[in-house]
Chains A and B, each alone.
Chain A
Amino acid sequence: MTVEYNPDQKIPHPAMWGVLYKSSTPFWEGVKNKKIMLQKCKSCGNLLNPPRPMCPKCQSQENEWITAKGTGKIYSWVTFNEAPHPAFKAPYAAVLVELDEGPRIVSNMVDVKPEDLEIGMAVEVTFEDVAEDLTLPKFRKAG
């Protein structure tokens, strides 16, 4: 069961999309093309998520982008019994997924009810067009 939205409310969009925070642009461009892109430091190979203009390990400002496999495990989750924003219908869960490459991302599950979630559950990415101008990477139970 996926997150249900109130159709008359705007889902919060990634605000900095390419305008004020350019480091994020390739991530959201990737999502549009149904890929999870990860920023990688060209100098030391460190994977940087969220993206940033300088690698905190080696201070290089050179980086490239790799495509993640899109598989991982649930690291933690939270169930909202009250919606903190009018676009979302409670209850729903936000999950923290640890990707097999290492970085963690926040997302939602499309097929698992909040009460059936477990830490360590293997998941894989799927992409959902939640609004005309917004695609989000979401996850389903793997296998």
Chain B
Amino acid sequence: MAIESIKDKTAIVGIGVIDFSTNIGRSEWYSACQCIKLAADDAGLNIYDIDGMVKNIDDGPDPSYVQKGLGIDNLTYHSESHWGTSAMMNAVQGVASGSCNYCVYYQAAHRVSGPEKSISDYRVAREVKDDSLDMIRYDFFSPFGLIGQPGYVAMMYRRYMHETGITPEQLGWIPVVDSENAAKNPNAIFFDKPITIDDYMKSKVIADPIRELDCAPKVDGAIAIIVTTPEKAKSMKQKPVIISSNAAGMAPEGQFHTSYTRDVITELPEMKNMGDELFRIAGIGPKDIKLAMLDDTFTPYVPLQLEALGFCGKGEGAAFIEGGERIRVGGELPINPDGGLIGQGRFDTTRIVEAVRQIRGTSTNQVAGADTILVASGAGGPADGLILRKA
């Protein structure tokens, strides 16, 4: 029988993280192999037992090359996904459907030092060649100088300010709290010490109203996450982290950061669809979540995620984050105790890693009683997420 849902059918048993950097000095291929080795060691798994591999299309070399680097004889399941951490869904399905035993999700991307033609720039390179149907929509933006994600988000953010009255003084609490958390996390390389709201307000306004500190910086990094069944997990080295729920969501008239044709452009309907599904599968609600790992690639998306996922009402996101009290460790809903992407750089899988560490109780910024954690990715485009819980 096909199963109704993937609730509790899979678990995360290993994580591998290399030291992040802005000039790593080696290939993405090398980093991919290294982080998978670290994850296998963390799980206490023989690397040859890995038989599934998934990744984001734009990050790092193909599974066949990574497999070659690691010396794994045969993979029975591999695929790619586009956005956020949506490849996680493929890993979950591979294991839950009985297509593979141990599926590794790796993200190896040297976004700063990587070669210009690295796979991270694959689609960009195609855009320059006028050769990709991905890029059609830019026809209607680029000739007018609306170019680049900060600008795309700024267009939405201005409207959000207009409709809800959210101010930079409120939004600034996201990078402020991120910096506080990042200062405690050795792998978060962008803040040695916390910044203040004044520092934020002085940050360069690059695409008004978006400031430099509203955007997660690029980084070189590699992360691997190993998924298997809870049964197999029982005899492994780490306490397993159960995947209570996993979902993805899209919505009509969606485009990456530029869904300007919707009636309302200041909502994240993909995130709402995803969140509804996530809670439905897990059979719990927003109130049961002890910690939220949210996508802070661009800060305006954080209050919008709080609204879309039901942590607060529509238009209340700004008030929720103001002052930072509610979202700090010890607050009503701690967000990104690892420093988020603002603190660590643009690397979506860090959210899953931090959630795993929190449930294991090994975070550098531990949240007390963090036994049920929501992870959301892909704000401003196709969304995906997880609810992880203690076994």
Contact = CB atoms under 8 A, between A and B. Distances in A.
B137 A50 contact: yes
B151 A21 contact: no
The size class of the interface chain B forms with chain A is 35 or more
Nearest to A114: B208
27 contacts: A3-B145, A12-B138, A14-B140, A15-B138, A15-B139, A16-B136, A16-B139, A20-B133, A50-B261, A76-B159, A78-B151, A78-B207, A78-B208, A80-B151, A81-B208, A84-B147, A84-B148, A84-B151, A94-B141, A96-B155, A105-B140, A106-B260, A114-B208, A119-B158, A130-B143, A136-B143, A136-B144
Contacts, number: 118
A76 B207 contact: no
A13 interface: yes
A63 interface: no
Interface in A104-120: 104-108, 114, 119
A85 B144 CA distance: 11
Interface in A1-48: 3, 11-17, 20-21, 24, 28
Nearest to A52: B136
Contact of B143 (A14, A80, A82, A114): A14
B261 A103 contact: yes
B140 A108 contact: no
Given A79-B208, A103-B261, A94 B139 contact: no
Contacts of B252: 56
B284 to A, nearest CB: 33
Interface string B163-197: 00000000000000000000000000000000000
Contact of A108 (B136, B144, B207, B209): B144
A78 B143 contact: no
Contacts of A28: 139
B319 interface: no
A15 to B, nearest CB: 4
Which has the most chain B C-beta neighbours within 10 Å: A21, A49, A103, A106?
A: A106
Interface in A85-132: 85, 87-88, 92, 94, 96, 103-108, 114, 119, 130
B156 A76 contact: yes
Given A103-B261, A106-B144, 14 more contacts: A3-B144, A13-B143, A14-B142, A16-B130, A20-B130, A20-B131, A20-B136, A21-B136, A50-B261, A78-B154, A84-B145, A84-B151, A108-B145, A119-B158
Contact of B145 (A20, A94, A104, A105): A94
A105 B130 CA distance: 21
A134 to B, nearest CB: 7
Interface in B250-277: 252-253, 260-261, 265
B376 to A, nearest CB: 24
Nearest to A80: B207
Contacts of A80: 145, 151, 206-208
A129 to B, nearest CB: 12
A65 interface: no
Contacts of B253: 56
Contacts of A77: 155, 158
A142 interface: no
Which has the most chain B C-beta neighbours within 10 Å: A28, A80, A130?
A: A80
Q: Which 8 A-B pairs have the closest CB atoms?
A: A12-B142, A79-B208, A14-B139, A94-B146, A15-B130, A78-B154, A84-B148, A76-B159
A16 B139 CA distance: 7
Interface of A: 3, 11-17, 20-21, 24, 28, 49-50, 56, 75-85, 87-88, 92, 94, 96, 103-108, 114, 119, 130, 134, 136
A83 B148 CA distance: 10
Contact of A88 (B133, B145, B154, B208): B145
A82 B206 contact: yes
Given A56-B252, A106-B260, A16 B135 contact: yes
Nearest to A108: B144
A115 to B, nearest CB: 10
Given A21-B136, A94-B151, A104-B261, A134 B159 contact: no
Contact of B261 (A16, A24, A49, A83): A49
A107 B150 CA distance: 17
B368 interface: no
B205 interface: yes
Contacts of A14: 139-140, 142-143
A119 B208 contact: no
B330 to A, nearest CB: 37
Nearest to B145: A88
A3 B205 CA distance: 19
B202 interface: no
B143 A81 contact: no
Contacts of A94: 141, 144-146, 151, 155
Contact of A21 (B133, B148, B162): B133
